[in-house]
């Protein structure tokens, strides 16, 4: 039996990953990533960077962040502690779901991750205090090629489940979309 299964989500290339969990009297074990297994599903993902975040306050939002076409990256997001509402926004201009978003409720211990392809923006809202996420990235961080979108952009109309009560100064400064936004061409 495979270490995990992938479930296609409404935006092309976006997947929910269900990890198989092995339990015994000692506790449990789950493989969070296996390049070969992902390849069998037709998803190429090479880990270049691993990040960990801890967000203290319930209702906080991080994002919406993306890398442009000069440094595109895919992400595999896993909640290690607490609960989050994880959002992916399709920024690929040739996609049928350009500027559509999808959210998944991730919580520690649920055995799920979100696989976000290159060309998407990503953000999340904490549904509990002290939420921790593990991010696996397919590319090195390239600050000169990063971008961000306003979490309250009326054009995206993301329905955050809680009032947005805590944003960093950087994330607060992300612009709303305008008619000149061309997306991320891969």
**Model confidence over 121-177: pLDDT tens digits?**
999 999 999 999 999 999 999 999 999 999 999 999 999 999 998 999 999 999 999
Cα–Cα nearest to 4, from 28, 27, 34: 34
Q: Is 146 in contact with 72 (CB distance < 8 Å)?
A: no
Quote the DSSP letter at residue 172. H
CATH classification at residue 163: 2.60.120.10
8 belongs to a structural domain: no
pLDDT of res. 22: 77
pLDDT of res. 36: 60
Q: How many domains does the chain have?
A: 1
162 belongs to a structural domain: yes
**Nearest-5° angle of CA 9, CA 56, CA 30?**
50
Cα–Cα nearest to 79, from 27, 40, 32: 32
Q: Which residues are catalytic?
A: 65, 135
Q: Is 19 in contact with 28 (CB distance < 8 Å)?
A: no
Q: Does residue 1 have a pLDDT over 50? A: no
Other Cβ atoms less than 10 A from the Cβ of 180: the count is 5
Q: Which residues pair with 133 in a beta bridge?
A: 53, 79
d(CA 117, CA 121): 9
Choice between 30 and 8, residue whose per-residue pLDDT is larger: 8
Q: Could you list the residue range(s) of the whole structural domain that residue 57 is in?
A: 48-172
112 belongs to a structural domain: yes
Q: pLDDT tens across 81-124, in order?
A: 999 999 999 999 999 999 999 999 999 999 999 999 999 999 99
121 belongs to a structural domain: yes
70 belongs to a structural domain: yes
5 belongs to a structural domain: no
14 belongs to a structural domain: no
Reported as a pLDDT band with limits 50, 70 and 90, residue 4 is confident
Q: Is 30 in contact with 21 (CB distance < 8 Å)?
A: yes
17 belongs to a structural domain: no
DSSP structure string for 35-48:
HHHHHHTT------
């Amino acid at each position: 039996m495979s270490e995990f299964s992938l479930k296609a989500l409404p935006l092309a290339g976006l997947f929910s990953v269900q990890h198989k969990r092995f339990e015994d009297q000692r506790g449990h074990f789950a493989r969070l990533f296996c390049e070969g297994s992902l390849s069998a599903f037709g998803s190429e993902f090479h880990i270049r960077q691993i990040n960990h975040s801890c967000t203290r306050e319930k209702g906080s939002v991080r994002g919406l962040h993306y890398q442009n076409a000069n440094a595109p990256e895919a992400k595999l997001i896993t909640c290690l502690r607490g609960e989050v509402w994880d959002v992916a926004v399709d920024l690929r201009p040739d996609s049928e779901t350009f500027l559509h978003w999808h959210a998944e409720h991730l919580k520690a211990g649920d055995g799920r991750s979100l696989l976000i392809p290159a060309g998407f923006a990503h953000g999340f809202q904490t549904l509990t205090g002290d939420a921790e996420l593990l991010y696996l990235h397919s590319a090195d961080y390239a600050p000169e090629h990063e971008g961000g979108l306003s979490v309250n952009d009326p054009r995206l109309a993301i329905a955050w489940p809680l009032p947005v009560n805590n944003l960093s100064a950087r994330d607060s400064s992300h612009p709303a979309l305008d008619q000149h936004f061309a997306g991320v061409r891969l």
